Structure 1
Amino acid sequence: MFTFHNDSKKYVYHYTSVDTAVDYILTDETLLVGCYNKTNDPKETKDWFFLPGTNYGKCLDEYTPQYLSKVMNPAIKETTHVICFTKDEVLTGNLDDMAKRGFCKPRMWAQYGDRHKGVCLIFDFESLSDAFHDRFSEYNYNSNDVTYRDRDIAEIGMDPAYIVNVDALEDFGKLAYARAHAAKYKQRLFFEKASDWSNENEYRWVLFDYDGNLPPKFHFKRSLKGIVFGADCDEDTIQKVVKASLKLNPQYQQLKWRNCAPWFNFERTKWV
């Protein structure tokens, strides 16, 4: 799993802090699908700017961008949830694959892995997909790779994903139209990010229209296969994680950095 596997589609990776891993993920054996508008990407956290359009020459004076923003953003974003993972790049199975593996991303360790003091959880992709489906099969969801593309203001102004058809808005009502619009343009709205994020090589599940009474958690069952400790995890922290996860029988390893290259702490064979 850690050293020689060459199937780049077999695993997905989730960086988190030790406290979150121990107190919630490993203890409850669940993952939380978080609110879409609480990520760290301004495209997702800030209100989208919508322009009006009509097929029938309707007067658009009342459909200002400010009005459409108040209509569309809450209807779409407040009931949309997302959980994000990173993937391997194309692998050969050799040791020089290290930098291509999903758990060897220094910026993600710094940003999501508590500045190298957290953990990276390794999940079997097919098993995790099945677990997600078992929990949310009655809801509308989609999963896919994230694509990365930079767009300018002029391009956004003509983008149909951000143009509201006011004829349909009046016919269907605000909530129904907003959800139909989000479904039609889901790839553009939920699975595209700026190229600055491309190193994350992200795969995500997006749960739409979720208005359940319970938090959107799902039991990941036996899909957890490994835990990688950050380079700055101390012994007490490591033992805390091992104790919380031992029942799940994952493989353990700690990442070390030699100069600028990622490597393993092979001295810690007692974890294997």
Structure 2
Amino acid sequence: MIENVSRVDEFLYHYTTVDKALNYILKTRMLRFGVYTNTNDPKETKTWQFDLGTNENRDLGAYKMSETSSWLSTRLKACARLLCLSSDRAPLTGNHINDIFIRGFSKPRMWAQYADRHTGVCMVFDRARLDAAISMQVAGANRVLAGPVEYIDRSILRDMASDWQFMINIDALEDLGKERYADLHLQTSYKRLFFEKMTDWRDECEWRWVAFASSNQDLYVAYGDALIGVMFGEETSEKSIQDIMDMTESWGLRYMGLRWKNCSPWYDYGLRYLPGIKNSPWGQTVKRV
């Protein structure tokens, strides 16, 4: 997962705290789809505002814009569940020395924000295997959409010709009814609504799955062999490293650490905090004595 990696679509990365890794993700061997409106992006947490429009001179005065807008926003978001991971940034050359700055596990702000100020871990997943697990376990009973997030800054001044995703077509609403219209709006507008964020987020290089659940219950996916490695942060304690290795010793994972020298990250090929591990280099599968 470190050397000779040239495909940006091969791995995905999940930053988290040691507590969440040990007590939830590794203990249960599952990932949870979070509630869409519980993210840290106002675009996703706040109620969307839709305008009303007609091409057939229907009576827009028969509708209260705020109520109709709130209905569609709630209908689209209510059962939306989200699984977000980071990806590598193109182009990868396969040279691990130069590529370290664009690898998905080497993002200082992500370590600080999501992995408890570099004391947590970054879990490395095989994207194809994780996607297959989600397709098998989640997509059967729920509509699931997947893809990279696109980063675009949009003006508050709308261009009706290009911002139609935030327009409710009253003609179609009256012809189809609320439920069928909401499904059609999702089908035609999901990329703009669920897979777009401001450019300030772009360095997260996010890949996400959005599941539109058939109920309000939590969604989980058993990731199985999709987890292929764990990265430890600059400040991850020796005890935390040992605890995670103890829990996953039979899983065939690869382990690596990141260390900073001045302003540059580098791979921790040393074994200075692993007294119970054989003298195998970091980046290789290690076994207990």
TM-score range, shorter chain: over 0.9
Aligned to 2:228: 225
Q: Report the CA distance shift for 1:31/1:256 in structure 2 as closer, same or farther (over 3 A).
A: same
Q: Which residues of structure 1 form unaligned runs of 5+?
A: none
TM-score by length of 2: 0.88
Q: Post-superposition shift, 1:105? A: 0.4
Amino acid at match of 1:189: L
Aligned to 2:40: 40
Q: Secondary structure at the match of 2:61?
A: coil
Match of 2:259 among 252, 256, 259: 256
Match of 2:124 among 122, 125, 130: 122
CA contact (8 A) 1:51 1:64 kept: no
Match of 2:104 among 92, 102, 105: 102
Q: Secondary structure at the match of 1:56?
A: coil
1:200 equivalenced with 2:229 (yes/no): no
1:75 equivalenced with 2:75 (yes/no): yes
Q: Post-superposition shift, 1:62? A: 4.1
Aligned to 2:144: 141
Identity of aligned residues (%): 39
Q: Which residues of structure 2 form unaligned runs of 5+?
A: none
Q: Alpha-carbon deviations, 1:57-89, whole Å to 9, x = none?
A: 122124333112321121110111111111112
Amino acid at match of 1:231: E
TM-score by length of 1: 0.94
Tell me how large the CA RMSD over aligned residues is.
1.7
Q: Secondary structure at the match of 2:63?
A: coil
CA contact (8 A) 2:129 2:226 kept: yes
CA contact (8 A) 1:161 1:188 kept: yes
CA contact (8 A) 2:11 2:87 kept: yes
CA distance in 1, matches of 2:232, 2:183: 40
Q: Report the CA distance shift for 1:247/1:157 in structure 2 as closer, same or farther (over 3 A).
A: farther
Q: Secondary structure at the match of 2:73?
A: helix
Q: Report the CA distance shift for 1:5/1:49 in structure 2 as closer, same or farther (over 3 A).
A: same
CA contact (8 A) 2:79 2:216 kept: no
Q: Alpha-carbon deviations, 1:108-149, whole Å to 9, x = none?
A: 111111111111010111111111111123221111111111
Match of 2:243 among 240, 244, 264: 240
Q: Post-superposition shift, 1:156? A: 5.8
Q: Secondary structure at the match of 1:222?
A: helix
